[in-house]
Every structure is written in structure tokens, then in C-alpha cells.
Amino acid sequence: MSHEQDINGAEILLKALADQGVEVVFGYPGGAVLPIYDEIFKQNRLRHILVRHEQAAVHAAEGYARATGKVGCVLVTSGPGSTNAVTGLLDAMLDSTPMVCLTGQVPTSLIGNDAFQEADTTGITRPCTKHNYLVKDVNDLARVVHEAFYVAKSGRPGPVVIDLPKDVMTAKGKYVGVGKVRHKTYMPKVKGEMSAIEQAAELMAGAKKPILYFGGGVINSGNAAIDLAGKLVKMTGFPFTQTLMGLGSAPASSPQFLGMVGMHGTYEANLAMHGCDVMVCIGARFDDRVTGKTSAFSPHSKKIHIDIDPSSINKNIMVDVPIVGDVGHVLEDLIRVWKAKQLHIDEKALKSWWRTIDGWRSKDCLRYVRSKKVIKPQYAIERLYELTKAKDPIIATEVGQHQMWAAQFAKFDVARHWLTSGGLGTMGFGLPAAMGAQVAFPDKLVVNIAGESSIQMNIQELATLMQERLAVKIFIMNNQYLGMVRQWQELLHGGRYAESHMDVHPDFVKLAEAYGHKGRRVDKPADLDDAIMEMIETPGAFILDVRTDASENVFPMIPAGAAHNEMLMGPEDEAGNPSSEDGMVLV
Amino acid sequence: MTGAKHPHARRHTIAVLVDNEPGVLARVIGLFSGRGYNIESLTVAEVAARENLSRITIVTSGTAQIIEQIKAQLSRLVPVHKVVDLTTDGPAVERELALVKVASIGDKRVEALRIAGIFRAHTVDATNESFVFEIVGRSDKIDAFVNLMEPLGLVDVSRTGVVAIARGTQPL
Ligand SMILES: Cc1ncc(C[n+]2csc(CCOP(=O)(O)OP(=O)(O)O)c2C)c(N)n1
Ligand SMILES: [Mg+2]
């Protein structure tokens, strides 16, 4: 017999969130979740951040989760509340971000009746969540919440939706604590197969032209994995590269860092991937943005792949040594095996490999033509990076050219300081994500590097910034174009710029002021440093509208459907139309 | 690309043990349609009421790489306990049941009944002008039976899809 008193569903929910250590929830109220908001009103332990659009609540929770490593938490109402959250959920799914999203639902008696603000939320979100639940009985509620947090953060992390009918929130039931819930089926394997780890160590020791390729999985695995990744780099002396999601997984200031890999990765990283004889892929998934044409991807290498998700292995690229397990656990074993077997790298071969790489490096693939007249976008980010690096800022981005330049020119020595939408490429991600990170770290410098178009997809969050006194700095790279679309049209569609130019944009300075923030416009290279300093030194949120050269393109570029050794290095390469017919249909 | 039409594509029968909870079938089917895998047949029923387990048997086809993907994708669904490829993991028995309605008179009716006897089909319903046969066997046997009934007045077929189990002493 339990002596626990029966309490209502909304109280159970808040108790469960408290037991899960949730401190912040990003949300937006509505009819179906009023009982939950009533409970929130009665307490002051859980902080609620009132966003201005549910999509932003989800991206904010993503930003919070990525900056802290904790599970992000969202609360939205039924129907339009939950459908507005869908983009964010898929974004979190593709970037493996741990999150629990609570959605209101019409009372159980009305489900299926096309009731007011009813949506089949579990049906709609099934393919864009790691798992979802519809709670029909208040006595299942506490268990489901604990399970949801467990599922969200274990194995390969992801978003979990809990759909909460209104009558379940008002019904009385029993609370059960965290300790009593154990999952029946979901128990991801964290330890890697020892024989495979030994095989990997030996392959690495025998390598003449090795490369380490780190992805977001290193960061998701946790601090131990990040430390071990750094150790592995030092221990082996191997060159290493990172995916867009993996930036910061090992220090960018290391001389062994070749820069980012992939479509807009560096020349040296892509050619090293192409020419290596042993590739160690750690917590990355051979995404098409990384591999380019798969049939020509790194044709002469033995590939080792460490990943917690068995479905990532042999999905796009067949590998020689698959190791299913948590990056932290596997790297620990790998380093232990390396030491126990007293393995050594082939110093002589490695030296000559480095000479080859240094040759590629000397091409200085990120160079660009400087200008005294217009602000080059690359220059804008270089200056932003130089003037803020002492503060070790958290940088969020929107999606487009500015995002790629940020990835190329900002450097991250620590993890969890880079927030970007990699898998889904969601314009509108950056501002709310920056907001979520700023909630977690109120005193930290948080900058959203934005495009003038992306920023308008969640611009309403300027109000949330003011209401919550969040000092996010918004650095708009204003080229008046859907720049990345324009670039593809220039390179692949004969310069027919269909609908990629926008004649009308708001006056961003006035817009900042309309929401009570400060702002400034800058269009001369000579004024840029001063403007950046003003942005950093002005208390509160700030919009810096940087007018950049509209004609600039992101290079290097591996056109869709091309191989790593078929990179375009700059405008001079554009002429020789590189894109195959197969490539034209790729995105 | 499903890989189903690939020259190296092969038919596989996969057994999946799942928690019998709402939405679990939708999850499995959604996975197949969302990722472009092929479903030739799918059956599902509760198999252990106390443990609340259902067993799904899926017949699919694809290259070895696709089949590995299908298994890995199924395994990572949260309510999935176990995924076993009955085609590759040792010998298995496969059965399907069909109800086959044949409407005819005279010689055709006699011939239908005679062939049903050869196939050891049971007659589970009869009128003066029709039979319903129940036939159990491997899918190709049922295909053969249905083909033979075609000229003999075949009017309707209902098939269960494949169920399968490994030979020998071991559970799934
Ligand atoms: C929600 C959404 N819609 C459309 C796209 C396709 N898209 C990718 S980049 C881009 C242009 C972004 O323009 P802007 O924010 O100004 O950045 P820029 O490329 O100019 O730096 C578009 C439309 C997308 N990624 N996300
Ligand atoms: Mg733009």
C-alpha cells in the first residue's frame, strides 16, 4: 500500500520534471495546457521562458541542450502549438539533440472527433522524434516522463514528445520517483567490441597516411569523450578534421587540425580524406555533405567507424572496422589498448604524410580578395572572431553562406560553443538557439551570426530577448540575397537568379529599437572593428547590420555529386562548369 | 532506392518482437515507407499477453546492405525487443494461410475440388455454386494453388501473409 497522496496530473508532471533536474522550460500556453500553466504559476522552482512562436521554443531548447549537455525541455499547446513545433523536432532529430517536448492534447473523450485544436500529434511527430508517447492514464504519467528523459539522452540522443490530454492533467493519480523506472527494451550498447578495438589500434599503428574524422557524436557523448578525443590527437600526432557538427570536439588551435571537412571544408581536409590510407571516423555519419560522391569517396583507405547507432554503420559508406559503442567508452579502451600493446605510429611515414598535407595547406584555400571599399563577409567573421575570442563566445548561426563562413573562419577550442543546424539546415534556428544558450549562461557572450533573410524567420524572438533580459548579439551578414541560393544559381543554373534577391528588408536598426534594443549599421571596412566593439560593449541585446559584398561565394566548394578531389577553389574555377547531370538533381 | 530491384536483392523474412503498445505498428510501417524499403507481407499479433508482447513478421527484399540497414533501423525503435533475420540465421519454417473462393458449376467445380484435395486444402464453406477453400503452406504453394483456381472460377482470395519460426529448440 502506498501512502502517497493522490495529486493531479499537472502536479505529477512538475514533480517529475523537478526530479529530472529540469530548471528551464521554453513554452507557449494555450487551452489544452492551462492546467499545467496553473501549476507553473503556483511554484517558482521551474523557470518558464515565454517565447513568441513555438518553433522558437524548440530551437531555444536545442540551443540550451547543446550549450549545456542537458536535456532541453519544451511545453506547447495542442493543435497549432504542436504543429508549429514540428520543424524544431526534426531539427533536433537530425542533429541528435536531447529534448523532451510536452504537447497539450484535447481531453481523451474527444480524441478522434476533430475537436477544437486537435491534432494527431503522435502521428505527425512519429517520424521526427526518437520516440513519442500519448498518456491516457494519469497513473502512467510519472513513469512516461522518466522514460522520456532516459530515451532522450541515452544512446544517440534525440527529441521525445509526450502528448498530454487535458483531462489527464486534471485527473488525480500517484507519483512515482525516478529510481523506480527501468526501461524494458531500450538499452543501447555503450562498450565497444574489444576485438574490433584491438584491430582498430593495430590498423592505426600501421597507417602511413592516417586521418581522424570527428563528428557531433564526440560532443554528444560527453566531456570524457571530448577529453579523450584531444588525448588521441596528441597521442597519435595524426592530422584531424571535423564535421560541421563536430567543430570544437578537439581544439581548433592544434597544429594537427586541418579545418572542416565536406562541401565547404578546406582543401587540405578534403584531400587528406581522399588520399588517406586509414580513416578513423569517430561519432560522425558519412553524411552526403561530407562524402560528396560516395563511389569516389576516399577510395584507398581502410575505414574504422565508431558510432553508438548501429544504423549509422555501413549506411552510406562501407567500412572495414565497425565499432558500435559510446565514443567515450570506446576511446578509453582504444587508448588503453594502444598503451598496453605499446603500439607506435610510423614516424617516418607520418612525416612524409605531413609534408604532403603542408603542400595542400600552402594553397591557403580560405584566402579571399580583400577590399577597402566593401566589407567582405569573410573579413567580417575574421574580425568578429579576433575581437571576441578572448571572451570565448558561444556562436550560433542561421543557415546559408554566412553559416559556412562562420564554420570556416571562427575557431573553437572548446566544445558546446558552436550551435548550428547541420542535418536539417533550418533557417530561423540561430536566434532562438542563441537565446537558449544565453538562458543557460546569462553572463557569457553569445553571438548569432545571421543572414538578413534567415533572421527574419524567427525575428519575433527579439521580444523574448527583451522580456527575459537576454543579451544576445545579432551579427547580421546582410548581402540582400538568399546568398546560398544565389551561389547555386550562379554556379549551376546559368546565373538565373530566380527569387533569390529580396528588394525589401526591414531597417534592422529601427527594428532592434522597436523591440527596445540597440542597433547599428556598418558598411565600411574601416568602421567594422568599432561597430563590433560597440555591439559587445553595449549592455543587452544588439543588432549589428553588417552590409557585406553581395557577390561573394563560399569556397572551396565540392559541387553536389562531385568527389573530394574535384573541389572548386574560387571564382577562377567557376567557368569550367563542374556539375555533372547526376549532380544537378542533388541538393 | 529500396534496392528491391537490384540484381543482388534477396527476399528476407524478419521477425520482430515488440511491446504491444499503441502506435508500434505505425512506427514499423512508417519506417519502411519513410526510408523506401519494400514490404512484401506483414503480419502482426500478440504472442505473449502477460508480457504484453507482439510479434511482427515482415517479408522484405533488398541487397545485403539494405537488409542490414533495415535490421539496424528496426532495432533502434524504442519499443522493439528483438529483431531476427529468419532467412540468414539458420533454417526456419514459413507458413501462410489463405481462404480461396471459387464459384463454378459442372466439370470446373469437380476439378476445383479435386485440386483442393491434392493441395490438402479444407473446404470451409460450400453452396451449390461455390466453395471456400482454406489452404496452409509456403507462399509459393499458395500462389500455385491460386493460379490453378484461376480458370476454375476463382472469385476472391484472402491471405494472412507469412508467419515464420526458426527450426530447433531455441526461442526467438
Ligand atoms: C526554412 C528554410 N527554408 C529554405 C531554406 C533554403 N535555403 C538555404 S540557405 C538559404 C538562403 C539564406 O539566406 P540568408 O539567411 O540571407 O543567408 P546567406 O546565404 O545570404 O548568408 C535558403 C533559402 C532553408 N535552408 N531553410
Ligand atoms: Mg543573405
pLDDT by residue (tens digit) across A487-498? 999 999 999 999
Q: pLDDT tier at A1 (50, 70, 90 boundaries)?
A: very low
Cβ–Cβ of A126/B27 closer than 8 Å?
yes
Q: What pTM was estimated for this model as a whole?
A: 0.96
Phi, psi of A489 (to 5 degrees): -65, -40
What mean pLDDT do residues A170-194 have?
91
The percentage of residues in chain A with a pLDDT greater than 70, rounded to a whole number, is: 98
Amino acid A229: pLDDT: 98
Amino acid A3: pLDDT: 55
The string of DSSP codes covering A229-247 is HHHHHHHH---EEE-TTTT
Phi, psi of A210 (to 5 degrees): -85, 160
- Domain assignment present for A369: no
Chain B residue with minimum CA distance to A135: B22
On the question of pLDDT at A234 being above 50, the answer is yes
Q: How close does chain A come to B146, measured CA to CA in Å?
A: 37
pLDDT in tens, A276-298: 999 999 999 999 999 999 999 99
pLDDT in tens, A202-218: 999 999 999 999 999 99
- Domain assignment present for A331: yes
Residue A524: give its domain's CATH number.
Answer: 3.40.50.970
What mean pLDDT do residues A542-551 have?
98
Provide the CATH number for the domain formed by B93-164 in this structure: 3.30.70.1150
Cβ–Cβ of B23/A134 closer than 8 Å?
yes
pLDDT mean across residues, chain A: 96
Phi, psi of A558 (to 5 degrees): -95, 110
Q: Rounded to whole angstroms, what are the CA distances from B97 to A486, A520, B145, B162? A: 59, 75, 12, 8
Q: How close does chain B come to A126, measured CA to CA in Å?
A: 7
A324: region left, alpha or beta (phi > 0 left; psi from -120 to 50 alpha): beta
Last residue of a domain, one of A512, A532, A547: A547
Phi, psi of A40 (to 5 degrees): -60, -40
Last residue of a domain, one of A152, A180, A208: A180
Nearest ligand for residue A421 CA: 1
The percentage of residues in chain A with a pLDDT greater than 90, rounded to a whole number, is: 94
- The single residue listed with the C-alpha cell 534567415 is A454
**Closest atom, ligand 1, to C-alpha of A452:** 16
- Domain assignment present for A567: no
- Domain assignment present for A521: yes
- Domain assignment present for A186: no
Q: Give the separation between CA A434 and CA A445, rounded to whole angstroms.
A: 10
Does one domain contain both A278 and A161?
no
Which of A399, A497, A500 maximizes ligand 1 atoms within 8 Å of its Cβ, making it the mutation to test the pocket?
A399
pLDDT in tens, A236-255: 999 999 999 999 999 999 99
Does one domain contain both A108 and A232?
no
Domain count, chain A: 3
Q: How close does chain B come to A311, measured CA to CA in Å?
A: 5
Chain B positions touching A127 (Cβ under 8 A) are 30, 34
Domain of residue A171, residue span: 7-180
Q: Give the separation between CA A67 and CA A445, rounded to whole angstroms.
A: 12
Residues within 5 A (CB) of ion ligand 2: A 451-452, 479, 481, 483
On the question of pLDDT at A577 being above 60, the answer is no
Cβ–Cβ of A127/B23 closer than 8 Å?
no
Does one domain contain both A524 and A465?
yes
pLDDT in tens, A11-43: 999 999 999 999 999 999 999 999 999 999 999
Does B7 contact A at CB distance below 8 Å? no
- The single residue listed with the C-alpha cell 576511446 is A331
Residue A333: give its domain's CATH number.
Answer: 3.40.50.1220
On the question of pLDDT at A576 being above 80, the answer is no
pLDDT in tens, A310-349: 999 999 999 999 999 999 999 999 999 999 999 999 999 9
What mean pLDDT do residues A432-440 have?
98
Last residue of a domain, one of A361, A394, A415: A361
Chain A residue with minimum CA distance to B73: A311
pLDDT in tens, A126-178: 999 999 999 999 999 999 999 999 999 999 999 999 999 999 999 999 999 99
Which residues of A belong to the active site? 54, 116-117, 166, 484
Strand residues in A316-373 grouped as ranges (E): 321-324
Q: Which of A550, A585, A551, A556 is nearest to A573 (CA)?
A: A556
User: Separation of A396 CA from ligand 1 center, angstroms?
Assistant: 15
On the question of pLDDT at A437 being above 60, the answer is yes
Fold of the CATH domain B3-85 = Alpha-Beta Plaits (3.30.70)
Chain B positions touching A314 (Cβ under 8 A) are 65, 68-69
Does one domain contain both A169 and A222?
no
Does one domain contain both A95 and A147?
yes
Strand residues in A41-98 grouped as ranges (E): 47-50, 72-76
Does one domain contain both A356 and A211?
yes
Contact A512, A462 (CB under 8 A): yes
- CATH 3.30.70.1150 domain span(s) along chain B: 93-164
Cβ neighbours for B9, distance < 8 A, ≥ 6 positions apart:
B3, B61, B62, B63, B66
Phi, psi of B118 (to 5 degrees): -60, -40
- Domain assignment present for A139: yes
ipTM: 0.92
Residues of chain B with pLDDT under 50: 1
Q: Which of A97, A486, A89, A423 is nearest to A262 (CA)?
A: A423
Q: Give the separation between CA A6 and CA A404, rounded to whole angstroms.
A: 54
The H helix count followed by the E strand count for chain B is 4, 9
Q: Give the separation between CA A279 and CA A272, rounded to whole angstroms.
A: 10
Query: Which grid coordinates belong to A359?
Result: 603542400
- CATH 3.30.70.260 domain span(s) along chain B: 3-85
Amino acid B115: pLDDT: 98
Query: Which grid coordinates belong to A484?
Result: 546560398
pLDDT in tens, A346-400: 999 999 999 999 999 999 999 999 999 999 999 999 999 999 999 999 999 999 9
Q: pLDDT tier at A179 (50, 70, 90 boundaries)?
A: confident
Q: Give the separation between CA A211 and CA A241, rounded to whole angstroms.
A: 8
Angle among Cα A175, A28, A171 to the nearest 5 degrees reads 30
On the question of pLDDT at A579 being above 70, the answer is no
Q: Rounded to whole angstroms, what are the CA distances from A172 to A9, A13, A163, A554? A: 6, 12, 18, 58
Amino acid B3: pLDDT: 65
Query: Which grid coordinates belong to B159?
Result: 491471405
Chain B positions touching A318 (Cβ under 8 A) are 65
Cβ–Cβ of B76/A131 closer than 8 Å?
no
Query: Which grid coordinates belong to A214?
Result: 570527428
Q: Give the separation between CA A544 and CA A430, rounded to whole angstroms.
A: 15
- Domain assignment present for A316: yes
Q: Which helix (H) or strand (E) holds A289?
A: helix A288-291
Query: Which grid coordinates belong to B135?
Result: 489452404
- The single residue listed with the C-alpha cell 574504422 is A304
Does one domain contain both A530 and A385?
yes
Amino acid A180: pLDDT: 67
What mean pLDDT do residues A174-192 have?
88
- Domain assignment present for A562: no
Position A531: which residue type?
Answer: A
Secondary-structure percent of chain B, ordered helix, strand, coil, rounded to 5? 30, 40, 30
| CA-nearest residue, atom 5 of ligand 1 | A427
Q: Residue A207 in 3-state DSSP?
A: coil
Cβ neighbour number for residue A251 with a 10 Å cutoff: 17
Q: Residue A459 in 3-state DSSP?
A: helix
- Sheet of A131-134: strand order equals A47-50, A24-27, A72-76, A99-105, A159-165, A131-134
Q: Give the separation between CA A362 and CA A240, rounded to whole angstroms.
A: 17
Does one domain contain both A238 and A146?
no
Contact A547, A523 (CB under 8 A): yes
Q: Rounded to whole angstroms, what are the CA distances from A340 to A197, A320, B137? A: 13, 23, 57
Q: Give the separation between CA A152 and CA A73, rounded to whole angstroms.
A: 11
Q: pLDDT tier at A571 (50, 70, 90 boundaries)?
A: confident
Alpha helices in chain B (DSSP H): 24-34, 64-75, 107-118, 139-149
List of long-range contacts for A89-92, beta carbons under 8 Å, 24+ apart = A89/A58, A89/A125, A89/A128, A89/A129, A89/A159, A89/A161, A90/A128, A90/A424, A91/A58, A91/A59, A91/A62, A91/A421, A91/A423, A91/A424, A91/A426, A91/A429, A92/A58, A92/A61, A92/A62, A92/A65, A92/A158, A92/A159
Q: How close does chain B come to A131, measured CA to CA in Å?
A: 7
Q: Which of A48, A80, A78, A53 is nearest to A64 (CA)?
A: A48
Query: Which grid coordinates belong to A468?
Result: 527575459
| Residue pairs between chains A and B whose CB atoms are closer than 8 Å | 42
| CA-nearest residue, atom 9 of ligand 1 | A400
| Nearest-CB residue to A151 (from B19, B30, B78) | B78
On the question of pLDDT at A181 being above 80, the answer is no
Does A143 contact B at CB distance below 8 Å? no
Alpha carbon A1 to its chain's center:
47
Q: Residue A293 in 3-state DSSP?
A: coil
